[in-house]
Structure 1
């Protein structure tokens, strides 16, 4: 890190706690406002070249801590919204210097909003927070919390791996490494050091593991990854069936009170004209594959038929986003595919 320059764009707000009518006594918050409450949506800038890191956070100068929210999830944002968090989380931040948790939306009756992970730290961990936001850009909330937990144990003064390695023989060199005229290790180091490259690669990892898992299932043929914008992740046939579509969804890191793994089963964006467009329909794909990596730290999956999931309480023809991996989910994908094929 010696001599390294870091550029940040900080949307920073005062975090505090004060008694507010009809609000819990143990609540802290920061209010997002630059100017009047105009009701408009305001963009949060992200550097397209990745030289600057965007932060979206509240700072409590009296107690010496900050709490950061996901700048991608909040883009665009309205002014005068509040981001609330509990005293118990503040206590953990102050005691440990670093803490990540899932925001409690029940107190404001906003369960329909996407799950959101907040990250808090003490003043001496602010550089760690910048590093975290560099790495977590664009991640789903389960892996955002997973990365925050990993960052908390990683020393800040670790230099990138050395690229002074022997180049393997031409016979062993990957085509991409040969095209770039770099060793394979140098290519991997390049991905590791460029956050946008790493983000793009990580976004494909779960789907790649899923395709690898499904391709060797007896009865599965024509298993391919789909690049269709807004379409399912995987297409395949099972025992000569019609094409079966599979969507891969990452789970949240925190389990339910009953110990069940959870999936925030909705899109992060919705059409302004149709708020229900945030939610999936049973017709969007046949099978949901829940990737458990954020919980188990292994590339494991559980499967369920889309039509077996609960309907949305308010949006007709849509599925509930509050999904728990209960008895409807199975690690036996053949059983699920056979039900779809015979359905």
Structure 2
């Protein structure tokens, strides 16, 4: 009998279908068993599971709702082994299939051309009973030999809450000069086994709609906030209301500039609200959705009450390299040419979202009482404001 070395590549179908490159693996039966247990713990019944000596693993499962899901999973072990020059408060996984001399070539991730099966790249921490989900769009092709890390604090939150989402800075390295993500950020999700099918739904939607890291982050948060997981709707309420698929809705938005601008504004407000709610300096936040009103009422721990208006910064900086933000309304009344410009006392703070110029969902806060006035209307703000050194990245640090 011919004995193949551990993790040698073999060319054969899994589950009667071709999924690209298949690897022979050893010593990973516990990862295979972990995934099968997770299927059952999350409310599924296993219809088919490929062999533990092959990677990726294909699992077919049926839910109580009779929904059937196919999962093509690339599992990698996560450990707490001490690594030289790395922090001690983190875990490590390594993308490792095949022999080391094969790592220099590309290892594309298998995909179902029909879009029915879901491909996932998972780091499995057997000791802590928690899973780390990597963005299958960003990690394709698999960079074999590369390690990924997560802080203990992130996994602790996942173990406490069952589901935890965070953004991680993504940088180039010795084997990849450019960052994996064009925004320099990637979204990571950690979850416990009973939330496996929640992650399957997230990955299915993220892959089908080609969600970038920021939208993937929002989608993951929405799934995490869903308390009644057993009755998660297959279709979003807007899909039902508009009689369109989510992809059709996004195509409509992407094809109409005003809609896209409005959606970017809403996404910026979402990230701003999330940042403020997580800030230890914020005592209370109220989101407003009223025409001619600012976006948020914010009460700080120090007692200050601030009216905050969220605006997207321009993708282009000033000649001096400073960010700039447009602070004016879309239209003006024909009877009042000043109506397009905001009154100086309309709100206290402008929160400039820097995603357009930087690709990062971060903000700079400026006090309106220190902003330049309109040249013709001294009681109005100038339509374009420069984000100067007086603006702050933390709202509580702003002098108001």
Q: TM-score normalized by structure 1?
A: 0.55
Q: Deviations over 1:305-343 (max 9, x none)?
A: 5143959xxxxxxx8656854479x9x9x945xxxxxxx
Give RMSD over aligned pairs. 4.3
- Provide the residue aligned with 2:219 in structure 1: 147
Determine the C-alpha separation between the residues in 2 that align with 1:207 and 1:127: 32
Determine the C-alpha separation between the residues in 2 that align with 1:54 and 1:104: 23
SS, match of residue 92 in structure 2: strand
- Provide the residue aligned with 2:160 in structure 1: 95
Q: Which residue, out of 258, 270, 275, partners 1:211?
A: 258
Residues 50/31 of structure 1: CA separation in 2 closer, same or farther (3 Å cut): same
- Equivalent residues in 2 for 1:181-330 (5 A)? 185=240, 188=243, 191=245, 198-199=246-247, 201-202=249-250, 204-205=252-253, 208=256, 211-212=258-259, 253=271, 301-304=311-314, 306-308=316-318, 310=321, 324-326=362-364
Pairwise CA distance, 1:104: 4.3
Residues 249/106 of structure 1: CA separation in 2 closer, same or farther (3 Å cut): farther
Determine the C-alpha separation between the residues in 2 that align with 1:202 and 1:124: 30
Q: Which residue, out of 65, 87, 92, partners 1:24?
A: 87
- Provide the residue aligned with 1:83 in structure 2: 148
Q: Higher relative contact order by CA 8 Å / sep ≥ 6: 1 or 2? A: 1
- Provide the residue aligned with 1:53 in structure 2: 118
- Provide the residue aligned with 1:15 in structure 2: 78
Pairwise CA distance, 1:125: 1.0
Q: TM-score normalized by structure 2?
A: 0.47
Q: Which residue, out of 121, 129, 134, partners 2:204?
A: 134
Residues 200/101 of structure 1: CA separation in 2 closer, same or farther (3 Å cut): farther
SS, match of residue 129 in structure 1: helix
Q: Deviations over 1:283-319 (max 9, x none)?
A: xxxxxxxxx9xxxxxxx751415143959xxxxxxx8
Residues 12/249 of structure 1: CA separation in 2 closer, same or farther (3 Å cut): farther
Determine the C-alpha separation between the residues in 2 that align with 1:53 and 1:157: 19
Aligned residues: 229
Determine the C-alpha separation between the residues in 2 that align with 1:54 and 1:255: 31
Residues 204/103 of structure 1: CA separation in 2 closer, same or farther (3 Å cut): farther
Q: Which sections of structure 2, spanning at least 5 residues, go unmatched? A: 1-63, 280-294, 296-309, 323-356, 369-379, 385-400
Determine the C-alpha separation between the residues in 1 that align with 2:232 and 2:221: 20
1:10–1:54 CA contact under 8 A, matched in 2: yes
Residues 160/128 of structure 1: CA separation in 2 closer, same or farther (3 Å cut): closer
Determine the C-alpha separation between the residues in 2 that align with 1:199 and 1:82: 33
